[in-house]
Amino acid sequence: MDSAKTTKRAKLEQREKRIIVAARSVFLEHGFNKAKMSQIADIAELAEGTLYLYYKNKNAIVKAVVADHWREITDEAQKAFSDTDESFTQLQALADYHLTMMVKHWRVIELGYVLYYSHSDDAGENAGMDFKRTYAALFDRVIERGQDKGIFAKNVSLPFLRDLFYGTLEYAARTLILHNKPQDIKAIITQLMAVLRPHLSGKTNSQTDNDNAVLKRLERAVRKLERLR
């Protein structure tokens, strides 16, 4: 009886997965609006009506597709860097993994946007979109642990850095895809780390202040020189 239950549950999950996989392929091929429920059913080898036993409607299916993707990505990302790694190494590994994934699964990401940006009638439909939040929290963890170890400065704003990290990588991914140069991933990671390193090390402020003072004096001097003529 236990095995019966197990089998049942397994079958159910298998069915759900089959729908998601079928739906993903159809959505990626045609985009949300032109994806037909009938085609999804066909590929999943189910009757159309059966889809509705598992998902309330078309919207629920995209959401599931996107959620499934982020869940998967989150799981793999965690494997991409070891907890024993040095914090900068972890960060770099995460950046590498993220950019690689963005480039590779760009279309699924897009799908998420359609979902996110579409105005839906029924309130709370946009709830349950926090799979992305969970994923984003990976960054937070790396930073926080680095701070605990004393490697990262504590006076940085986590939300800002997170936005910088993911925002930069997403835009970079788009650029890579647009110019069709997925091989430049390494260069981008290097540059991003170069930007983040001094900031995270917390050594910038004093340096910068100093530089600023010098620069200001230089500017004044230049202006004087100009007046000498």
Partner DNA sequence: GATGAATGAGTCTTCATTCAT
Partner DNA sequence: TATGAATGAAGACTCATTCAT
Among 25, 28, 48, 199, which residue sits at the site for DNA (rule: CB under 7 A)? 48
Q: Binding its own copies by CB under 8 A: which of 110, 137, 145, 177? A: 110
Q: Which stretch binds DNA (CB under 7 A): 50-58, 140-148, 166-174, 181-189?
A: 50-58
State how far the Cα of 84 lies from the Cα of 66, in Å rounded to an integer: 31
List, in order, residues 6 or more apart from 27 with CB less than 8 Å away: 35, 62, 65, 111
- Distances in whole angstroms, Cα of residue 97 to Cα of each of 56, 106, 155: 33, 13, 26
Q: Taking the complex as a whole, how short is the minimal distance between the CB of residue 129 and DNA, in angstroms?
A: 18
Is residue 93 within the footprint of its own copies (CB under 8 A)?
Answer: no
For its own copies, the closer CB: 39 or 204: 204
Residue 57, binding choice from its own copies, DNA, none, Cβ under 5 to 8 Å by partner class: DNA
Helix ranges (DSSP H) in the chain: 2-34, 37-44, 48-54, 58-80, 87-104, 106-117, 131-148, 158-178, 185-201, 204-228
- Map the footprint of its own copies across residues 25-64, applying CB under 8 A: 30-34
Q: What are phi and psi of 174, to 5 degrees?
A: -60, -45
The verdict on 187 binding DNA (CB under 7 A) reads: no
Place of tokens 């309330």: 56
Q: Which of 7, 36, 140, 171 binds its own copies (CB under 8 A)?
A: 171
- From residue 65, how far is each of 16, 21, 69, 162 by CA, in Å? 10, 8, 6, 25
From residue 3 to residue 32, the character string flagging contacts with DNA as x (rule: CB under 7 A) and all else as - is -----x--xx--x-----------------
Residues 6+ apart with CB under 8 A from 139: 91, 94, 161, 162, 165, 166
Q: Are 148 and 84 in contact (CB under 8 A)?
A: no
Nearest Cα residue to 75 out of 111, 103, 107, 101: 101
Q: How far is the CB of 76 from its own copies (least distance, A)?
A: 22
**In this chain, which of 19, 23, 35, 65 binds DNA, going by CB under 7 A?**
35
58 in contact with DNA (CB under 7 A): yes
* Residues in touch with its own copies (CB under 8 A): 30-34, 86, 110, 113-114, 117-119, 151, 157, 159-160, 162-164, 166-172, 174-175, 187-188, 191-192, 194-199, 201, 203-205, 207-208, 211, 214-215, 217-219, 221-222, 224-226, 228-229
* Residues in touch with DNA (CB under 7 A): 8, 11-12, 15, 34-38, 46-53, 57-59
